[in-house]
Chain A
Amino acid sequence: MRKVAIVAAASRQEEKMLDTEVEMMIPLISEVKAKTGLDQTEIGFTCSGSSDFLAGQAFSFVMTLDAVGPVPPISESHVEMDGAWALYETWVKFQMGIIDTALVYSYGKPSPGSLQDVLSTQLDPYYVAPLWPDAHAVAGLQARTLLEQGIINVDQLADCAVRAGTVESREEYFSQPMLSDPLRKADCPTYADGGVAMILAAEGKAEELCEKPAWITGIDHRIDVHHFGVRDFTTVPSARIAAEKAGVHDGPIDIAELHAAYTTHDLLLRKEMGLPETPNHSQRSYPIKADTLMASGLLRIAEAARAIWEGDANRALAHATAGPLLQQNLICVLSGEDT
Chain B
Amino acid sequence: MGTGGELAAVVGVGMTKFSATRGDVSMPGLVREAAQRALEDAGMQWDDIDAVVMGKAPDFFEGVMMPEIFLSEALGCVGKPMLRVHTAGSVGGSTALVAASLVHSGVHERVLTVAWEKQSESNAMWALSLKQPFQVSINAGAGGYFSPIIRQYMEVTQAPELIGCMVAFKDRQHALLNPYAHLHQPDLTFDQVVESPMLWEPIRYSETCPSSDGAAAMVIVNEAEADKAENPAWIHAGAMRSEANNFPGRDEVNPLASRECAADLWKQAGITNPREEIDVVEMYVPFSWYEPMWLESLGFCERGDGWKLVESGVTHIEGGDLPVNCSGGVLSSNPIGASGMIRFAEAALQVRGMAGDHQVTGAKKAMGHAYGGGAQYFAMWVVGQDKPAA
A175 within 8 A of B: no
- Is B69 a contact partner of A92 (Cβ separation < 8 A)? no
Chain B residue at smallest Cβ distance from A97: B4
- Is B245 a contact partner of A66 (Cβ separation < 8 A)? yes
Choose from B58, B70, B241, B245 the contact partner of A75 (Cβ within 8 Å): B241
The complex places the Cα of A46 from the Cα of B377 at a distance, in Å, of 13
From B57, B70, B98, name the one whose CB has the most chain A CB atoms within 10 angstroms.
B70
From A96, A121, A224, name the one whose CB has the most chain B CB atoms within 10 angstroms.
A96
Q: On chain B, which size bracket covers the interface?
A: 35 or more
B3 within 8 A of A: yes
- Is B242 a contact partner of A76 (Cβ separation < 8 A)? yes
Q: Mark B25-64, 1 if CB is under 8 A from A, else 0.
A: 0110000000000000000000000000000011111111
Question: How many A-B contacts are there with CB distance less than 8 Å?
Answer: 181
B82 within 8 A of A: yes
Given contacts A57-B132, A59-B58, contact A121 B63 (CB under 8 A): yes
- Is A65 a contact partner of B4 (Cβ separation < 8 A)? no
B186 within 8 A of A: no
B188 within 8 A of A: no
Q: Hey, which chain B residues are within 8 Å of A51, CB to CB?
A: 59, 65-66
- Is B70 a contact partner of A56 (Cβ separation < 8 A)? no
- Is A74 a contact partner of B242 (Cβ separation < 8 A)? yes
A72 within 8 A of B: yes
Q: Hey, which chain B residues are within 8 Å of A81, CB to CB?
A: 66, 83-84
The complex places the Cα of A123 from the Cα of B64 at a distance, in Å, of 8
A57 → chain B closest CB, angstroms: 5
B256 within 8 A of A: yes
A241 within 8 A of B: yes
- Is A77 a contact partner of B5 (Cβ separation < 8 A)? no
- Is B247 a contact partner of A71 (Cβ separation < 8 A)? yes
The complex places the Cα of A325 from the Cα of B363 at a distance, in Å, of 49
A114 within 8 A of B: no
- Is B105 a contact partner of A220 (Cβ separation < 8 A)? no
- Which 6 pairs from chain A and chain B are nearest by CB? A95-B105, A58-B58, A73-B257, A98-B4, A73-B243, A96-B5
13 further A-B pairs in the complex, CB-CB below 8 A; given A75-B241, A223-B81: A53-B60, A57-B132, A59-B88, A62-B374, A73-B242, A95-B105, A124-B70, A125-B27, A125-B64, A129-B64, A222-B81, A223-B79, A226-B71
B residues touching A (Cβ–Cβ < 8 Å)?
Answer: 3-5, 26-27, 57-73, 77-88, 94, 98, 101-102, 104-107, 127-128, 130, 132, 134-135, 239-245, 247, 255-257, 260-261, 373-374, 376-377
A residues touching B (Cβ–Cβ < 8 Å)?
Answer: 20, 46, 51-53, 56-59, 61-63, 65-66, 69-81, 85, 88-89, 92-93, 95-98, 118-119, 121-126, 129, 220-227, 230, 237-238, 241, 322-324, 327-328
